[in-house]
Chains A and B, each alone.
Chain A
Amino acid sequence: MSATVNIASSESAISISGLEFAYGNRPVLKGIDLEIPRGVSFGVLGANGAGKTTLVRLLIGRLKATAGTALIFGQEPGPELADSVGYMPQLNALYEALSVRENLDFFARMLGLSNKEQRVAAVARAMELVGLTDRADSVMSELSGGMRQRVSLGAALVHEPDILLLDEPTVGLDPELRATFWQHFKEMTDSGTTIVISSHTMDDAAHCDTLGFMRDGKFIATGTPDELRQSTGKPNSTLEDAFLFLSRASDDVI
């Protein structure tokens, strides 16, 4: 593998400062500052159109910032980091005519696992992790929506990346499957992986180690779920309450 990134030398997994992005004249990200330490799960929470996907696409290097910087392990996002970063796009983004195993094998090869033995082991491990070993030879079109989501997650982590960027990974999952996903994520952060998850459901938010509430291209608040709940000043507030409270507060500032 061609990773030349010295991952050990960087304190934060992700550090973003003054990040701005615009599609033409339409600003989407309006100044984001963020430090995400290693080995935590960070939730980017916000409504549709808040800029979550744009932020994730900047982090995988598919978009270039209009101003400011976004660094992963102290490096600009790009192909050099591909070995350390796993990306799960919003769409399932898998090949319909291929089986679970073939899809994972293909993306593993694209991620630089050219050694066949290593790759077979990595694919088997990924299928085990997302619980699809018994469906290894089913083609995508035979799988349910939830299963496809799991294959998509498997394709993002088949190369055991240090950072996982997951764009709305739990959309359309039933509660049971959602719980399973979160169990995986917890295991991964425990073993040192950093996970960034975008979501618009507060159910996901409660599982994250830290959270950022995103609104209209900016973070209006960041903190642990407990800290954010307490920000309302009322007892027994939910994250939903906190989000609405902080949204109103940010409107008042404007």
Chain B
Amino acid sequence: MMSFDRKLAIAARITREIRRDRRSLALIIGAPVIVMSLIGFSFQDQKPVLNQAAPALIATMAMFFVFVLTGISFLRERSQGTLERLLSTAVSRSDLLVGYLAGFLLFALIQSIIILLYTLFVVDVEYSGKLWDIVFILLMVTITSVSMGIFVSTFAKNEFQVVQFIPLLLAPQIFLSGVILPTSQLPGYFQVISGVLPLTYANRALRDIMLRGASLSDVSTEIGVLALFAIAMLAAAAATVRKT
């Protein structure tokens, strides 16, 4: 059963809940700014290193914060019983998924854009390429990360467990997607793992755009792979969204 009104209502409710929670709202905006300041200003005397690292940092931070936001929020829906109540109505998987995606996407995008703009204009990282192209890649990262958050929350019984998933899911991506070492310098078997991590492709695309001024069509392969990840994660989230 498709219902536009239900999707809209779910998205509006999520937006309202987050807006009401002033401290969380402040953290959503404040935390990435503080983290990016720390990283950015500690490299102040080595601008070329920072410029090189910035694309991967932006993508990683976006993925990290969005995943935490969605994972915890959706888990709360399960643990407080509201999901059970929702599922006794005629609400469908697509209502839930699209509603959630829309509700979180708004905040996730705001967060991603804050990370991006702050890094580019306050930390003053040099970049080439179009700003909108960078935002587009971040949008793909955000969709993947929101779906990943919903999916992973199925496997967690409480907030404590969701937090345990953060290092499990994000540490490999940080180490193996080229944030620290270029993927080509990793041992062979790690390169294979690196090939199945969404962040690898996001980093590659952002590097090409930000460091070499590439356009979206130049990085269409990476965009295609990112889209596949987003679709796969959405499918996984759809398969598990009805579990309470």
* A91→B1 contact, CB < 8 A: no
Q: CB of A98 within 8 A of chain B? A: yes
Which of the 9-residue segments B31-39, B85-93, B138-146, B209-217 touches chain A?
B85-93
Measured in the bound complex, the distance between the Cα atoms of B12 and A109 in whole Å is 12
* A82→B90 contact, CB < 8 A: yes
The answer to whether residues A97 and B90 also contact, given A87-B85, A110-B6, A114-B3 and a CB cut-off of 8 A, is no
Q: CB of B16 within 8 A of chain A? A: yes
Q: CB of A184 within 8 A of chain B? A: no
**Given the complex, which residues of A lie within 8 Å of B21, measured CB to CB?**
97
Which of the 9-residue segments B76-84, B123-131, B183-191 touches chain A?
B76-84
* A93→B82 contact, CB < 8 A: yes
Measured in the bound complex, the distance between the Cα atoms of B86 and A87 in whole Å is 10
* B80→A93 contact, CB < 8 A: yes
Measured in the bound complex, the distance between the Cα atoms of B91 and A80 in whole Å is 10
Measured in the bound complex, the distance between the Cα atoms of B91 and A84 in whole Å is 14
Measured in the bound complex, the distance between the Cα atoms of B20 and A79 in whole Å is 31
Q: CB of B157 within 8 A of chain A? A: no
**Given the complex, which residues of A lie within 8 Å of B17, measured CB to CB?**
95, 97-98
Q: CB of A107 within 8 A of chain B? A: yes
Q: CB of A14 within 8 A of chain B? A: no
Q: CB of A25 within 8 A of chain B? A: no
**Given the complex, which residues of A lie within 8 Å of B92, measured CB to CB?**
79
Q: CB of A68 within 8 A of chain B? A: no
**Given the complex, which residues of A lie within 8 Å of B87, measured CB to CB?**
62
* A79→B1 contact, CB < 8 A: yes
Q: CB of A139 within 8 A of chain B? A: yes
Q: Contact mask B1-34 → A, CB, 8 Å, 1/0?
A: 1010110010001001100110000000000000
* B90→A111 contact, CB < 8 A: yes
Residue pairs across A and B with CB atoms within 8 Å: the count is 75
Q: CB of B161 within 8 A of chain A? A: no
Q: CB of A85 within 8 A of chain B? A: yes
Residues 104 to 121 of chain A near chain B (Cβ within 8 Å): 106-107, 109-112, 114
* B3→A111 contact, CB < 8 A: no
Closest residue of A by beta carbon distance from B244? A62
Which of B80, B86, B88, B89 is within 8 Å of A91, CB to CB?
A: B80
* A82→B3 contact, CB < 8 A: no
Shortest distance from the beta carbon of B70 to any chain A beta carbon, whole Å: 17
Closest residue of B by beta carbon distance from A94? B82
* B81→A93 contact, CB < 8 A: yes
* A2→B1 contact, CB < 8 A: yes
**Given the complex, which residues of B lie within 8 Å of A94, measured CB to CB?**
80, 82
* A107→B90 contact, CB < 8 A: no
Q: CB of A237 within 8 A of chain B? A: no
**Given the complex, which residues of A lie within 8 Å of B1, measured CB to CB?**
2, 79
Residues 144 to 202 of chain B near chain A (Cβ within 8 Å): none
**Given the complex, which residues of A lie within 8 Å of B20, measured CB to CB?**
97-98, 139
**Given the complex, which residues of B lie within 8 Å of A131, measured CB to CB?**
none
Q: List 25 A-B contacts (CB under 8 A).
A: A2-B90, A60-B88, A62-B88, A62-B244, A79-B1, A79-B92, A82-B90, A87-B88, A92-B80, A92-B81, A93-B80, A93-B82, A93-B85, A94-B80, A95-B13, A95-B80, A98-B16, A102-B13, A107-B89, A109-B6, A110-B6, A110-B86, A112-B3, A112-B89, A155-B85
Interface of B toward A, CB cutoff 8 Å? 1, 3, 5-6, 9, 13, 16-17, 20-21, 80-82, 84-92, 244
Interface of A toward B, CB cutoff 8 Å? 2, 60-62, 79-80, 82-83, 85, 87, 89-98, 102, 106-107, 109-112, 114, 139, 155
Closest 5 CB pairs of A and B: A93-B81, A91-B81, A82-B90, A87-B88, A114-B5
Extra pairs beyond A62-B244, A93-B84, A97-B21 (19, CB < 8 Å): A79-B90, A87-B88, A89-B81, A89-B84, A89-B85, A91-B84, A92-B81, A93-B80, A93-B82, A96-B80, A98-B16, A109-B6, A109-B9, A110-B6, A110-B9, A110-B90, A111-B89, A111-B90, A114-B5
